[in-house]
Amino acid sequence: MAWISATYLVTSTKDEIGRRAEALALEQSVEMPLGAITDRRILSTIVARVASVEPADERRFRVVLHLAAATTGGDPTQLVNMLFGNCSLQDDVELAHVELPETLLERFSGPHHGIDGIRELTNAGGRAMTCTALKPQGSSVEKLAALCETFARAGIDVIKDDHGIADQEYAPFAHRVAACQAVVARIEGETGKRPLYAPSLVGSPRSIFEQAERAREVGVRAVLIAPMLVGIGTFAEFTAEFPEFAILAHPAFGGGRISPVWLFGRFFRLLGADAIIFPNYGGRFTYTREQSAALAEAASRPWQGIRRALPVPAGGMPVERVPEMLDAYGNDVMLLIGGSLLMAGDALLERSRSFVRAVVEAGAQAGKSR
């Protein structure tokens, strides 16, 4: 029998936590009273087990359950259902960590490109990489293509759509993607640099696959998708169907009571994300330095032969923090700066070039110190 080890943080009292842990085990496995089950096979191989309970802080306990891997059917959506389906409705429970057995890990292919593949696509060598976003929402195709050209001429490695840009009337998907991809192809031909343009894919499963086909037709080599918005099953199927794309996973709709270190750093990687965007500490979000560092490590450290995914910290970072960021993350990272560049107005090209220079120079220092 193969078992998943799932760790939860449960708000409870010392007197109640034993009963609460047993109830959680039933909720996340058979969802019925134990006394109503007469089949011994189900009792011994399907019902979840409480492996341990220990205090986590003054209000919460760390509960480890062993869940039968067989209940997932090897399906990523069902896996999340068995880990956090019903108990996500209980606001006293958080999913903190998950360890999957090797038999289940083998069902996931992981990234097709990962860190090394994205380095090859962008000709980045061993240095840290740069990323920016086409903004703001509401811009015309012509405006977005002009921005894309400025960023590409500055030497930024990956230029992605803002995740809020979809197939709106003011910037239709097909027109926008063709225009922006033509820009990066022209810059590559003129300068020898290899910028990647990553359009945002969002919508129903059918529309996402149709968008991907259009993007492939015009030569796009990278795409942006938010797995929690489009659905875990759709995302997993997409990564299998379009292995030629370097896939940037966006964290939108991924907040809540699931550990971001596991969800973004581990699970998105398992599903096939080549690069994982996540909130950087000290920016617009509330992640601590420890959380951001742990997430980056989960995405990029060796793990059961699964390719390493590229960490992409983002969210309110100015260019001036580049040395600090590379000191924190090292060179296996791609820094995403958007608004801080766009604040430069008419000096956008030089500001973007200064971002590229800062990453190269700080990366060289980070490489020496490690």
pLDDT of residue 231: 97
For the cut 70, the answer to whether the pLDDT of residue 225 exceeds it is: yes
- Do 80 and 137 reside in the same domain of the chain? no
For the cut 80, the answer to whether the pLDDT of residue 369 exceeds it is: no
- Do 189 and 63 reside in the same domain of the chain? no
Percent of the chain having pLDDT more than 70?
A: 99
- Do 292 and 364 reside in the same domain of the chain? yes
Closest CA to 193 of 120, 145, 123: 123
- Do 81 and 120 reside in the same domain of the chain? no
- Across the range 261-266, mean pLDDT stands at 98
For the cut 90, the answer to whether the pLDDT of residue 136 exceeds it is: yes
Residue that terminates a domain, selected from 78, 105, 132: 105
- Do 223 and 86 reside in the same domain of the chain? no
**Running DSSP on this structure, what letter comes out for residue 83?**
H
For the cut 60, the answer to whether the pLDDT of residue 5 exceeds it is: yes
pLDDT of residue 370: 54
- Do 66 and 161 reside in the same domain of the chain? no
Enumerate residues 6+ apart whose C-beta is below 8 A from 213. none
pLDDT digits (tens, 9 = 90+) for 38-51: 999 999 999 999 99
Helix axes 173-191, 141-154, angle to 10 degrees: 30
Structural domain containing residue 308? 114-369
| Collapsed DSSP state (helix, strand, coil) of residue 67 | strand
What total of structural domains would you count in the chain? 2
- Across the range 339-351, mean pLDDT stands at 95
- Across the range 361-365, mean pLDDT stands at 81
For the cut 80, the answer to whether the pLDDT of residue 281 exceeds it is: yes
- Do 49 and 121 reside in the same domain of the chain? no
- Do 250 and 323 reside in the same domain of the chain? yes
User: The domain spanning residue 51 has which CATH number?
Assistant: 3.30.70.150
Letter string b/e over residues 188-207, b meaning 16 or more CB atoms within 10 A of that residue's CB? eeeeebbbbbbbbbbbeeee
- Do 210 and 345 reside in the same domain of the chain? yes
C-beta neighbour count of 137 within 10 angstroms: 14
- Do 295 and 166 reside in the same domain of the chain? yes
Residues linked to residue 63 through DSSP beta bridges, in sequence order: 8, 53
Structure tokens at 278: 């996540």
Structure tokens at 40: 């011994």
Under 8 Å between Cβ of 53 and 62: yes
Residue that terminates a domain, selected from 88, 105, 122: 105
The pLDDT confidence band at residue 338, using thresholds 50, 70 and 90, is very high
- Do 118 and 79 reside in the same domain of the chain? no
For the cut 80, the answer to whether the pLDDT of residue 365 exceeds it is: no
Structure tokens at 19: 């009963």
- Do 23 and 122 reside in the same domain of the chain? no
